[in-house]
Structure 1
Amino acid sequence: METTGVFAQLVGQDRAIEVLTAASAAAKELIDGSGSGTAMTHAWLFVGPPGSGRSVAARAFAQALQCRDGGCGHCQDCHTVKVGTHPDVHVVIPEGLSISVREIREIVRVAAFHPAGGRWQIVIIEDADRLTEGAANALLKAIEEPSAHTVFLLCAPTTHPDDVSVTIRSRCRVLPLRTPPAEAVAAVLIDRDGIDSEAAHWAARAAQGHVGRAKRLATDEVAKQRRAAVLAIPAKLVSMEACLSAADDLVGAAEADAAALADELDAPERESLMQSLGAGGTGKGTGAAPRGSAGAVKELERKQKARATRVQRDALDRALVDLTGFYRDVLLVHAGSDVPLSHADHQQEINQVASAVTPEWLLKSLDAIVAARQSLETNVKPRIALAALTTGLRLPRQ
């Protein structure tokens, strides 16, 4: 299927493109007064696994709604939505582990204004599964009583009640997205990013359909090294000492990621805040500003700490996704399947583990990884969650 305009950003999502194209056309009918616009609704929930492009789809849809040509990809509206400067498109991205009720109340208040461009006020909430209970209730009220010109675009991994409340889900049109096939991901890397064919196809398979991760693996040597270190772990889990060491290594790498981001962002953010409060200025009144800045500085430090925690958890989750792919490959080898392996470049380690375990053991191992991801989501200390996982993945004695 040949796709042009803003929806060309969606990789391997033909069905979703059809739905969104029809909805954006219906939205144009509503604006122009030329039709009933029955294919358009005021609240959408984009669901799909990591890498399926939930937020990409939401932003592309926002471009199509604001564009007078239904998402040409070239006009001022399409450009400003894409770069995040459109006055009528508001994006909520959690910096920490959750989205607070204060953030949602403020964004709902702003979204109730009449759109400056005369079309739509659009709220995009990435990671809507991170809404606190209070935030979810505040959002529910806005979705239940929407302004005629307001559209809510929510993104979440699944429609499970633990991710998105049933009351919110029932008031949204759910649009499921799928994991893009490796060939489609490779084509994007080649055509859009200029990556050579061999590297693009390797990265697409290794990233298991995640477009952003595939690009990092194809272009970032550190990302390649981190992946290689994670995939070397299963064959090493032959003793309790090795298991605990592996857990420490995984957590240490995630902490290093968080520290690197903190080194890059924290000090400039603090300096910018202090300057905005008058620090370093001269003249009447400038001396009082820094003395009254304790609350603002404390709030910034809270956000920075929450961001560091999220970066650490996201790094650990990437590692667990790689481990899931590894054990899936071991299961395929064990079954003698001819399905392509995600981590074929680690065939030796895969064969080594396959020779030491049973299919039942592999299924329990995959369950253990799922349990570890859930533990991290419920704020179990990373070292405790990872130590429990690696000891559970210890290879049976031969």
Structure 2
Amino acid sequence: MSTALGADVFAELVGQDEAVQTLRRASAAATALITAGSGDAPAAGAMTHAWIFTGPPGSGRSVAARAFAAALQCVHGVGCGECPGCHTTRAGTHSDVRFVVPDGLSIGVGEMRALVLRAASTPSAGRWQVLVIEDADRLTEAAGNALLKAIEEPPPRTVFLLCTPSTHPDDISVTIRSRCRVVALRQPPAEAVAQVLTARDGVPAETASWAAAAAQGHVGRARRLAQDPQARERRDAVLAVPRRLTSVGACFDAASALIEAAEAEAAAAVAEIDAAERSALQTALGAGGTGRGAASAARGSAGQLKELERRQKSRATRAQRDALDRALVDLAGFYRDVLVSALGAPVAPVHTDVAPLVEAAAGKWTAEATLRRLEAVLTCRDAIATNVKPRIAVEAMMLTLWRG
């Protein structure tokens, strides 16, 4: 979200009133513990030492975790957004708050052990040591076990905040889940998202309403659609796919186009940070230097450069899959709209700007055939999430979309 740092930290959560109330009570209880001098043990009531934030994409899992982290460090205990604790936490510079935002496909055990060790120390400037793990569903089994040990035997004044799509064992282990309090977030209503775009970003009301519906409640994606012409072009290309599927060859062409578009989008997204990281590492290793030790230093840098390339390749793969998933969500929304139109259901459409195409498809396909197509898109998403080669999954999906 792009709100000003001076705003109440929980104002960034859209359409999550119940969750906000829970987090406000917990931050107040945490403040009471500190004030009473009993902050060496988690409270058994409103406050506890480990939390899991769940919800669909765009619901604000990481936003909620970051807001709660700020409230815990707030000198007033309410998440005022104005004190140094709130300000530095939200800016990502607080010395007692660590954010784990995985670039690649997983979070390894080495990284988790180092983080848990640092989180066990006494707060140096704040009220609590806070470890925020975004995408905790990417923890490897060994990393999950390292985190579990810390949660089972929590250090004094340490709070763990985990973000996962759900509490299903595929996303977070049962043992970790059993030791955490769950804050369930919901998909924000399109009306609430549109209001945010208009009030905070100055987006015209009509554009905001369209973008909020097209993004299916995902605030960040709605903002991109409203403000980024390239994002709108990519979406238009995806929604043109059903019309292109006229033969087996066309199916493979459409699959290639979708994969290549995702790769290009991902490459553009990571190019700048990759170049900056490589330049910084080369400078740190003395690139361009001369003298007695320059040659040996250059030889010794090969391993570090190789490790950087490995991490950047993993990040690029993650970015490609994320870009492809966004395209699949748009495609699923189209078939959902066709099914809604065919059945005459009293439900608002996702893609309001392609209504003629939706109606034409609804008149051509049976409801059963449309449902099979929708299931094919969702199956493709699941397959890619379980590490099936994206090209294979997308080609299989395209063939099913063509055959119906």
Task: Note if 1:10 corresponds to 2:16.
Answer: no
Please tell me whether the aligned partners of residues 356 and 395 of structure 1 are also in contact (alpha carbons under 8 angstroms): no
Between the aligned partners of 2:69 and 2:220, the Cα distance in structure 1 is: 20
Task: Note if 1:55 corresponds to 2:58.
Answer: no
- In the alignment, which residue of structure 2 is the partner of 1:220? 228
- In the alignment, which residue of structure 1 is the partner of 2:181? 173
Among 288, 294, 299, the residue aligned to 2:302: 294
Between the aligned partners of 1:208 and 1:319, the Cα distance in structure 2 is: 13
Among 248, 252, 255, the residue aligned to 1:244: 252
Between the aligned partners of 1:242 and 1:170, the Cα distance in structure 2 is: 49
Task: Note if 1:194 corresponds to 2:202.
Answer: yes
Among 160, 180, 191, the residue aligned to 1:183: 191
Between the aligned partners of 1:109 and 1:281, the Cα distance in structure 2 is: 36
The Cα of 1:169 is off from its aligned counterpart by 0.7
Partner SS, residue 355 of structure 1: helix
Between the aligned partners of 1:229 and 1:304, the Cα distance in structure 2 is: 28
- In the alignment, which residue of structure 1 is the partner of 2:31? 28
The Cα of 1:365 is off from its aligned counterpart by 2.1
Partner SS, residue 393 of structure 1: helix
Between the aligned partners of 1:237 and 1:395, the Cα distance in structure 2 is: 9
**1:254-285 alpha-carbon deviations (Å, 9 max, x no partner):** 11112223432323321110111122245664
Task: Note if 1:66 corresponds to 2:81.
Answer: no
- In the alignment, which residue of structure 2 is the partner of 1:130? 138
Matches within 5 A, 1:1-398: 5-33=8-36, 38-69=45-76, 70-281=78-289, 285-396=293-404
Cα distance, 1:231–1:37 mapped onto 2, change above 3 Å: same
Please tell me whether the aligned partners of residues 210 and 352 of structure 2 are also in contact (alpha carbons under 8 angstroms): no
Q: Given residue 53 of structure 1, which amino acid in structure 2 is its aligned partner?
A: G
Deviates more, 1:352-361 or 1:292-301: 352-361
Q: Given residue 40 of structure 1, which amino acid in structure 2 is its aligned partner?
A: M
Between the aligned partners of 1:199 and 1:283, the Cα distance in structure 2 is: 61
Partner SS, residue 347 of structure 2: coil
Structure 1: tracts of 5 or more residues without a match? none
Between the aligned partners of 1:246 and 1:228, the Cα distance in structure 2 is: 14
The Cα of 1:46 is off from its aligned counterpart by 0.3
Between the aligned partners of 1:284 and 1:261, the Cα distance in structure 2 is: 39
Partner SS, residue 44 of structure 1: strand
The Cα of 1:206 is off from its aligned counterpart by 0.8
Partner SS, residue 364 of structure 2: coil
Please tell me whether the aligned partners of residues 274 and 290 of structure 1 are also in contact (alpha carbons under 8 angstroms): no
Deviates more, 1:358-367 or 1:11-20: 358-367
Partner SS, residue 115 of structure 1: coil
Cα distance, 1:79–1:284 mapped onto 2, change above 3 Å: farther
TM-score of the aligned structures, taking structure 1 as reference length? 0.95
Q: Given residue 374 of structure 1, which amino acid in structure 2 is its aligned partner?
A: D
The Cα of 1:172 is off from its aligned counterpart by 0.6
Between the aligned partners of 1:118 and 1:78, the Cα distance in structure 2 is: 10
Q: Given residue 307 of structure 2, which amino acid in structure 1 is its aligned partner?
A: E
TM-score of the aligned structures, taking structure 2 as reference length? 0.94
Between the aligned partners of 1:52 and 1:34, the Cα distance in structure 2 is: 36
Deviates more, 1:20-29 or 1:113-122: 113-122
The Cα of 1:34 is off from its aligned counterpart by 7.2
Partner SS, residue 264 of structure 2: helix
